[in-house]
Amino acid sequence: MIRIDAVTKRYDDGTVAVDRLSLDIPDRAITVLVGPSGCGKTTTLRMINRMVEPTEGGIFLDGADIRRQPVDSLRRSMGYVIQNAGLFQHRTILDNIATVPRLLGWSKQRARGRAAELMERVGLDAALARRYPYQLSGGQQQRVGVARALAADPPVLLMDEPFSAVDPMVRKGLQDELLRIQAELGKTIVFVTHDIDEAVKLGTMVAVLREGGRLAQFAPPVELLSAPADAFVEDFLGADRGIRRLSFFPSAGLPLETAPLVPLDADAERLAAGADAPYLLVTDADGRPLGWAEPGRPLERDRLLDHGRPFRPGTDSLRSALDGAVLSPTGWAVAVDGEGRALGVVSQRVIGDAIRAAHGRAGADAGAVR
Amino acid sequence: MNVLDLVRAFFGDGAHWHGYDGIPARLAEHVTYSLAALLLAAVIGLPVGLVTGHYGRGGNALALIATAGRALPSFGLLVLMVLWTGLGLVPVMIPLVVLAVPPILVTTYEAVRTLDPSPVDAARGMGMSEARVLFRVEVPVALPLILSGLRTAAVQIISTATIAAYVGLGGLGRYIIDGLYQRDYEKVVGGAALVASLALSTLALFWAAFRLTVSRGVRARA
Ligand SMILES: Nc1ncnc2c1ncn2[C@@H]1O[C@H](COP(=O)(O)OP(=O)(O)OP(=O)(O)O)[C@@H](O)[C@H]1O
Ligand SMILES: [Mg+2]
């Protein structure tokens, strides 16, 4: 565990970047530091690998003061990823990734072998190994930055806004990749961002900092969204925190109705069975949804209403289900399995009931924790 | 007679190809002075430029030194040095070195100072020592500019080393000065042509050095 204990950082010009900050950063989890620009996130992160020295207080790694350790060996035990990747222009991708193993005295061959392994792990095509950084896109460079940080298999990973310079689609890909890698490797990650959505998505724990480097709240994301500590945190979370919180509730328990499902080639008897439903969900021969039809009329493929975006009850959250219902012209969301076959439909009203029930449970849980 | 005829006559004369005043001997002298001056200037300019660039400090002082160095007339300095120390190699070397240090020093400083800070930050963050950061991360990327500073200095030294002849030392300047004195324009033009081709060869050498030492990843952006 990394323990930040009553740390204050006052720069030479008198700026107090971090003010008596205490945080217990759990092992093998992602801890996100989030807050507005200038609130001391980078400073806090850089104190962990001693790129910045605290003015007061101390930082402890598994109980030992980090100042006890030689600074170079401390840094080599912590991967460090920065915003613009900071790749070495004059080295190939493979040699960029091999940097820390080489610093640790590995042979060139072994270091490169390890680098090649990591390229695969972070989803980089092996064909890129011999290229130079200028030949890569921003997203690829960022992956190289992550691979380079992981090369010597450090237990700790420090990441300072690693994904903020790439476009939203690429960023989402990188975030998913990080979560996947983390599920495999279980590093202790400290992740800095100013994007609350990123914090909520990635963090096991989220520390919200405010100007002047003071801690506003330190909590798991779902608790942050349901019980912001004060107006500052609430404001920082933004207007739609209620909706975003739904991301943490599974859609698995939603009661699905199957009566409105009808195949395109359904006979009159089958159509009559669904006549009570306000709408029928028409599927193809494989059971994939095609669109909505009004009951009591002959089914015509090109006159169906768009069925919106379906959700998958096993993997998607209540937020996806609600989104599907809101986007659907009928107000009903479509549930599909992994192969895209319709499992059933669910109305906004039923989703609303599920949301209220989930809130009730979360409230009870939060109460039990305290 | 035009210039080309003069050049042809000078290089066609067999008497110009041997002896202490022959082309090989004068060329060797010129190259020796120039190399010595460049080496001295590099020994002063490179380390100071690298260290100040790395720490990003001392820019104002450097700019002052550079301007002063450029403003000093080499010939005036030569005369001053001769008056002060007498004839010899030292009064020749001093103006050459004074001339060559500013381009090396200032370009090296700028080359390192203006580098993208993120790779340097990343390098420190992964536990590289300051020396390693400088030589393994900064210098390879700053190399094209550093070489260009050395190249400027080398060409200036080669053209200015002709002044060595004024204080009785050899070099290609001999042909120019002696030729002027003897009103032997064949010699003057021949000497000038030699200095010019030496300068051009130097440019070619630096081009080759650039191809050999600068990484492809840096070259493509330079
Ligand atoms: N080297 C320094 N000297 C003086 N003040 C500094 C220094 N580095 C940072 N600061 C100040 O300390 C405060 C916190 O800076 P820091 O970089 O930690 O913020 P941040 O939360 O990372 O911001 P951002 O989201 O913009 O990256 C700011 O007011 C900044 O101006
Ligand atoms: Mg920052």
CB A320 within 8 A of CB A251: yes
Query: What's the average model confidence in pLDDT over A192-203?
Result: 94
Residue type at position A38: G
This complex has an ipTM of 0.89
Q: Establish if B221 belongs to a structural domain.
A: no
- If asked whether residues A117 and A266 sit together in one domain, one would say no
Residue type at position B150: L
Task: Please tell me if the CB atom of residue A13 comes closer than 6 angstroms to any atom of ligand 1.
Answer: yes
pTM: 0.86
Q: Establish if A366 belongs to a structural domain.
A: no
Write the residue in B122, B137, B220 that is nearest to A80 by C-beta. Answer: B122
Q: Provide, as residue numbers in chain B, all residues whose Cβ is less than 8 Å from the Cβ of A129.
A: none
Per-10-residue mean pLDDT, chain B, length 222: 85 86 92 95 96 88 80 77 78 88 94 95 95 97 97 94 83 91 91 95 97 92 60
Would strands A289-293 and A261-263 be described as parallel, antiparallel, or unpaired? unpaired
Q: Is A132 left (phi over 0), alpha (psi -120 to 50) or beta?
A: beta
Q: Establish if A317 belongs to a structural domain.
A: yes
Task: Please tell me if the CB atom of residue A17 comes closer than 6 angstroms to any atom of ligand 1.
Answer: yes
Q: Establish if A367 belongs to a structural domain.
A: no
Task: Please tell me if the CB atom of residue A11 comes closer than 6 angstroms to any atom of ligand 1.
Answer: yes
Which CATH number fits the domain that encloses residue B17? 1.10.3720.10
- If asked whether residues A222 and A320 sit together in one domain, one would say no
Write the residue in B118, B127, B141 that is nearest to A75 by C-beta. Answer: B127
Q: Which of A57-61, A197-201, A258-262, A330-334 has the lowest mean pLDDT?
A: A258-262
Q: Establish if A217 belongs to a structural domain.
A: yes
Q: Establish if A361 belongs to a structural domain.
A: no
- If asked whether residues A143 and A180 sit together in one domain, one would say yes
Boundaries of domain holding B139:
3-213
Q: Establish if B218 belongs to a structural domain.
A: no
CB B172 within 8 A of CB B157: no
- Give the whole-angstrom CA distance, residue A205 versus residue A208: 10
Res. A367 pLDDT band, cuts 50 70 90? very low
- Give the whole-angstrom CA distance, residue B66 versus residue B102: 5
Q: What pLDDT, on the 0 to 100 scale, is given for residue B1?
A: 64
- If asked whether residues A39 and A181 sit together in one domain, one would say yes
Q: Establish if B222 belongs to a structural domain.
A: no
DSSP per residue over chain B, as a string?
--HHHHHHHHHH-GGGGSSTTSHHHHHHHHHHHHHHHHHHHHHHHHHHHHHHHHHT--HHHHHHHHHHHHHS-HHHHHHHHHHHH-SSHHHHHHHHHHHHHHHHHHHHHHHHHTS-HHHHHHHHHTT--HHHIIIIIIHHHHHHHHHHHHHHHHHHHHHHGGGGGGGT--STHHHHHHHHHHT-HHHHHHHHHHHHHHHHHHHHHHHHHHHHHS-HHHHTT-
Closest ligand to residue A39's CA: 1
**Atom number, ligand 1, closest to the C-alpha of residue A194:** 25
- If asked whether residues A72 and A168 sit together in one domain, one would say yes
Token pair belonging to B151: 């190249």
- If asked whether residues A91 and A181 sit together in one domain, one would say yes
Boundaries of domain holding A330:
261-355
CB B49 within 8 A of CB B108: yes
Over 50: is that where the pLDDT of A369 sits? no
Q: How far is A175 from chain B (nearest CA, A)?
A: 21
- If asked whether residues A202 and A300 sit together in one domain, one would say no
> For chain B, which residues lie within 8 Å of any Cβ of chain A, measuring from their own Cβ?
116, 118-129, 137, 140-141, 214-218, 220-221
> Is there a contact between B119 and A89 if contact means CB atoms under 8 Å apart?
yes
> Is there a contact between A75 and B125 if contact means CB atoms under 8 Å apart?
yes
Over 70: is that where the pLDDT of A154 sits? yes
- If asked whether residues A223 and A85 sit together in one domain, one would say yes
- If asked whether residues A202 and A275 sit together in one domain, one would say no
User: In total, how many domains does chain B have?
Assistant: 1
Which CATH number fits the domain that encloses residue A94? 3.40.50.300
Res. A368 pLDDT band, cuts 50 70 90? very low
Write the residue in B125, B137, B217 that is nearest to A132 by C-beta. Answer: B217
Which CATH number fits the domain that encloses residue A329? 3.10.580.10
User: In total, how many domains does chain A have?
Assistant: 2
Q: How far is A92 from chain B (nearest CA, A)?
A: 7
Q: Establish if A246 belongs to a structural domain.
A: no
Per-residue pLDDT of A30-74, as tens digits, reads 999 999 999 999 999 999 999 999 999 999 999 999 999 999 999
Q: Establish if A297 belongs to a structural domain.
A: yes
Per-residue pLDDT of A84-104, as tens digits, reads 999 999 999 999 999 999 999
- If asked whether residues A19 and A107 sit together in one domain, one would say yes
* Mutation site, B121, B126, B128, B215, interface A, largest A CB count within 10 A: B126
Per-residue pLDDT of A271-322, as tens digits, reads 777 777 788 899 998 999 999 988 877 788 888 898 888 999 988 999 999 9
Q: How far is A40 from chain B (nearest CA, A)?
A: 17
Sheet holding A289-293, edge to edge: A261-263, A280-283, A289-293
- Give the whole-angstrom CA distance, residue A148 versus residue A88: 11
Q: What pLDDT, on the 0 to 100 scale, is given for residue A13?
A: 96
- If asked whether residues A205 and A289 sit together in one domain, one would say no
